[in-house]
Amino acid sequence: MSQFKQQVLNRFLKYIAIDTQSDDSVTNFPSTSKQFDMLNLLHDELKALGVSDVSIDSNGYVMGTLPSNTAKKVPVIGFISHVDTSPDMSGTNIKARLVENYDGKDIVLNAEKNIILSPSDFPELPEYMGQTMIVTDGTTLLGADDKAGVAEIMTAIEYLAGHPEIEHGTIKIGFTPDEEVGRGVDFFDVKKFGADFAYTMDGGGIGELEYENFNAASAKVAIQGRNIHPGYAKNKMKNALLIAMEFNALLPVNARPEFTQDYEGFYHLIKVEGTVESASIQYIIRDHDRTKFEAKKQNFKKCVDFINERYGEGCLTLELKDQYYNMREMVEPVYHVVATAQEAMEQLGIIPKVVPIRGGTDGARLSYMGLPCPNIFAGGHNFHGKFEYVPLESMAKATEVIIKIIDLYTSRA
């Protein structure tokens, strides 16, 4: 299956050349119309491969079916990836570069700006010695999250469609917009998709397999201050910016992302803006444990109440929304979806790394919508920024994992 390297590379480079950055500041769906540039392309590519029931709706969801070619009763398996890239960094005019036979040392991404991808900062890099690394030029993200996953699914489907002698059940393919802004499956029609279960190809480094993720909430605090001329402000001014700082100081320092790992949750301050008169601060709240998650939200509310008691009711207004929940509860009853993916990796010589996602995925929400959907590695690292990279060999292996999962379910039917 060495042919996958060139095929998946060609697709990946084609896809990252399309700017599909989503936008968390708008309420449109999809949040950016340019995502349709890639979604329409995928629609056309699926049709060209002979995939059945290919569709794209007004929300941008692309779906298709590779029909069963066996009389066996095989579960209907879905594979899903998202096309958008993160709003955190530009995805325009991505200049990818291949570093062949990587030596395990520093990779200079941009000599002029002294941007270096170094093992001293990213100690996993030497694990990929001898492989082909795909990197940025340090001015954009790469887009492996999740165009690597898209390329892997498309390459696997192309292979199966071109080899009808390989027995398989019905395979469903789905591509979504707006995952990076937390709205990727807001309008996803699980019934239309028609899979018994699915996998998102949206994980990190090779071997990652995830069926647990954070419980997640967003919190926006609006702060109403009182601006008075500073020369006459005593006992009158309420500086909204300082109140924002005071509020943030009430939250535990050791519960910030930079001090947590594994199953530890956090409060993450993501935006501050305003003036003396008014300000706003935004957070995300995360925890794998549902009880601890609810406790974090309650503590956040108590901090709001404390500031309002200090400065007067209405000084702070809280908008707190749950975003998604830990999919473990929905996946464990059908644990074979995890066990089969793990076995597929092992048969391909990949060491499975069953780890909790310290983030979210479309699969989490889909699992609560009736489609159990664990997450498999797409191969990339350092998502959402200029140090993003993906080893080509990892993408080729992810393609093999897709095909092996299909093979395992077919052979056992």
Q: Say what the pLDDT of residue 357 is.
A: 86
Cα 134-137-143 angle, rounded to 5 deg: 55
Q: What SS3 state is found at 143?
A: coil
Burial of 249 (0-12, 13-18, 19+ CB in 10 A): exposed
Q: What is the mean pLDDT of the chain?
A: 96
DSSP 8-state symbol, 385? S
Higher model confidence: residue 358 or residue 158? 158
Given the candidates 2.60.40.640, 3.30.70.360, 3.40.50.11390, 3.40.50.1820, the CATH classification of the domain at 215-324 is 3.30.70.360
- The C-alpha atoms of residue 398 and residue 311 are separated, in whole angstroms, by 55
Encode pLDDT of 336-363 as tens digits: 999 999 999 999 999 999 989 887 788 9
Beta bridge partners of 224: 278
- Residues 84, 202, 208, 362: which is the catalytic one? 84
* Element housing 215 (H / E): strand 215-224
- Is the pLDDT at 162 greater than 90, yes or no? yes
- Residues 145, 179, 180, 212: which is the catalytic one? 179
Encode pLDDT of 21-52 as tens digits: 999 899 999 999 999 999 999 999 999 999 99
Report how far apart, in Å, the C-alpha atoms of 164 and of each of 20, 67, 168, 268, 317 are: 33, 11, 9, 49, 60
- The C-alpha atoms of residue 344 and residue 364 are separated, in whole angstroms, by 22
Average pLDDT of 228-246?
Answer: 97
- Is the pLDDT at 274 greater than 70, yes or no? yes
Average pLDDT of 231-245?
Answer: 97
**For the chain, which residues make up each domain, given as ranges?**
4-212+326-412, 215-324
Higher model confidence: residue 359 or residue 370? 370
Those residues with Cβ within 8 angstroms of residue 402's Cβ, 6 or more apart along the chain or in another chain:
79, 152, 153, 156, 199, 201, 376
Residue 277 near residue 227 (C-beta atoms within 8 A): yes
Q: Say what the pLDDT of residue 3 is.
A: 77
- Is the pLDDT at 93 greater than 80, yes or no? yes
Those residues with Cβ within 8 angstroms of residue 251's Cβ, 6 or more apart along the chain or in another chain:
267, 299, 300, 303
- Is the pLDDT at 1 greater than 60, yes or no? no
Pairing of strands 171-176, 115-117: unpaired
* Element housing 116 (H / E): strand 115-117
The CA-based dihedral angle spanning residues 127, 131, 132, 133, taken in that order and rounded to the nearest 10 degrees: 0
Q: Say what the pLDDT of residue 2 is.
A: 62
- Is the pLDDT at 192 greater than 50, yes or no? yes
Residue 210 near residue 331 (C-beta atoms within 8 A): no
Average pLDDT of 106-131?
Answer: 97
Instruction: Measure the N-to-C terminal CA separation of the chain; round to a whole number of Å.
Output: 24
Q: What SS3 state is found at 203?
A: strand
Topology, domain 4-212+326-412: Aminopeptidase (3.40.630)
DSSP 8-state symbol, 166? S
Average pLDDT of 388-399?
Answer: 98
What token pair was written down for 81?
């990836």
> Is 178 designated active site?
no
- Is the pLDDT at 244 greater than 80, yes or no? yes
> Is 262 designated active site?
no
Which residue has 């501050």 as its token pair? 272
Residue 52's CB: how many other CB atoms inside 10 A? 11
Length of the chain, please?
Answer: 413
